[in-house]
Amino acid sequence: MRRLFRPFFAIAVATATYASSSGAAYLLVPMDDAQADHLRAYGVCYAALLEGARAEWLLNYRGGSFLIADFEGLPEMCRERGVTAEYVADPGPIHAVIEANNMEAVPLTKAPRVALYAPPNEDMWDDAVMLALDYAEIPYDVIWNDAVLTGGLYQYDWLHLHHEDFTGQFGKFYGSFAGTPWYEMIVAQYEAEAKAAGYASVAAYMGAAAEAIEQYVAAGGFLFAMCAAADTLDIALAARGLDVVAEVFDGTPVDPTASERLDYSRTLAFTDFELIPNPYIYEYSDIDTPRSNSPAVDPTNKGSFTLFEFSAKADTVPTILTQNHRNRITEFMGQTTAFTRKTLKKRLVVLATVDGYEEAKYVYGNHGEGFFSFLAGHDPEDFQHFVGELPTDLRFHKNSPGYRLILNNILFPAARREELKT
């Protein structure tokens, strides 16, 4: 069933600004500091595409602005959502600036069909992508293994992995939460699902889901994942059918020699990583930075990561994924906080690095006919998020540069593929 944004957020106060409406043919939605609500601006562009409107993504122009052909109701939509927009009668001068600089105008042709892969107990903890879509008012479906294992992915252009553990280790929560009702409920639920689906273990069940997701990407889908969903997906793919990742809800450690039998040729992004077998250590492998286990807690010294600048005309895809009004963004932690550079496959494109460390925060790659991008960390506006905390209220972070990275990915499949360069 189609799932629309949750009605948690009130409509923002109208802050849209306009020049004269006389003879206007386009609305420019600026994405620099002139924008009152960057996050809902993506929702406006998405809604315009649903209406069949013509739109362009103006890469590197005023923070990655949108130029949308005006249609009845578009100005009112901007006003109601609190999104700043400017009338443009003639886009020629804008295109001239773009042509003469490191910028590009990319046509957006369709509203991507969006799916969030999340378990039935999704409300146990929040997910930044779900929060972003709800706030931006972008519709999506929530799907789970019953759809994934029966080919249901292929009706979608874009797939996000909720903070899921594909290794069958129940998030490695054993050390901190064994015996708690919610943890025992998850264990029982996943075991019952695996058995009903004909799998001998939860590890085998989740590994099959990981393989189905890999095949979806190879066939042309777009995958986005954050935090531990990114590295556990590759761990499960490398371990598929090799019986090297054990279920550890009972405290049984993973085979310490398992890393020697992993098949890295099956993975999307990571290679030559070492598993961490101890079930009491809240870490899967050395893909993740050690800072995840010893995070800085000084709120005045959170650190930052920096987005690379790409050639908009030659490297269009990385440019799309890094559009922002800030190139340096405050760091945020997670079970997977950043990716160690030594575990990245050589063909990967690093989109952002962590300042002062040999770590990648944000990466992109091709796989078969499809694409994927992984962003480390849990919540761009919550430096150190814990299980059970209240979700971030994006009404107070509507200009978040970290959340913009998430929404860049949402609109990426809307661009004409034949015009994209990698």
The CATH number that applies at residue 99 is 3.30.70
Residues 100 and 218 in one domain: no
Indicate the residue among 63, 87, 108 that finishes a domain. Answer: 108
Where does residue 102 rank: exposed (0-12), middle (13-18), buried (19+ CB within 10 A)?
Answer: middle
* Predicted local distance difference test score (pLDDT) of residue 278: 76
Note the pLDDT of residue 276. Answer: 84
Cα dihedral angle (160, 161, 163, 165), rounded to 10 degrees? -170
User: In this predicted structure, what is the pLDDT of residue 386?
Assistant: 60
* Res. 299: pLDDT tops 70: no
In DSSP notation, 257-298 reads TGGGG--GGG-SSB-S--B---TTSS-SBTTB-GGGTS----
Please report whether residue 269 resides in a domain.
Answer: yes
The tally of CA atoms less than 13 A away on the side-chain side of residue 324 is 23
Q: What are phi and psi of 326, to 5 degrees?
A: -135, 140
Nearest residue to 131 (alpha-carbon basis) of 5, 299, 297: 5
Residue 18: per-residue pLDDT: 38
Q: Which residue has the tokens 């039998």?
A: 261
Domain total of the chain: 2
Q: For residue 2, tell me if it sits in a domain.
A: no
Residue range 252-289, pLDDT digits in tens = 555 667 777 889 999 999 999 988 877 777 788 999 98
pTM score of the predicted model: 0.88
Residue 247, pLDDT > 50, answer no
Q: What's the pLDDT band for 126 if we cut at 50, 70, 90?
A: confident
- Domain contains 13: no
Which residues are paired to 3 by β-bridges?
Answer: 140
Q: For residue 170, what pLDDT is reported?
A: 83
- Looking at residues 12-37, what average pLDDT do you find? 68
* pLDDT score recorded for residue 166: 92
**Whether residue 143 sits in one domain with residue 32:** no
Is there a contact between 117 and 47 (Cβ–Cβ < 8 Å)?
no
Per-residue confidence band for 124, with pLDDT thresholds at 50, 70 and 90: low
Q: Which of 104-113, 214-223, 239-248, 342-351 has the lowest mean pLDDT?
A: 239-248
Q: Which residues of 300-332 are buried (b: 16+ CB within 10 A; e: fewer)?
A: eeebebebeebebbebbbbbbbbbbbbeebebb
- The answer to whether residues 224 and 233 touch, using CB atoms and an 8 Å cutoff, is no
β 349-354/304-307 pair status: antiparallel
Residue 8 lies in a domain: no
Rounded Cα distance between 403 and 295, Å, is 21
Q: What is the pLDDT of residues 89-106, one digit of tens each?
A: 999 999 999 999 999 999
Mean pLDDT of 22-40: 89
Long-range CB contacts for residues 5-8, cutoff 8 Å, separation at least 24: 5/133, 5/134, 5/135, 5/136, 5/137, 5/138, 5/139, 6/134, 8/134
Same domain, 207 and 277: yes
Strands 55-59 and 65-69: antiparallel
pLDDT tens readout for residues 153-183:
999 999 999 878 998 888 777 766 777 888 8
Q: What is the crossing angle of helices 128-136 and 401-411, to 10°?
A: 80
Percent above pLDDT 70 for the chain: 83
Percent of the chain with pLDDT over 90: 65
Q: Residue 177 belongs to what domain range? A: 114-419
What span, in angstroms and rounded, lies between the C-alpha atoms of 99 and 105? Answer: 9
Q: Is residue 220 part of a domain?
A: yes
One domain, residues 95 and 127? no
Q: Give CA–CA dist 359/35, Å, rounded.
A: 31
Q: Same domain, yes or no, for 155 and 196?
A: yes
In a domain, 16, yes or no: no
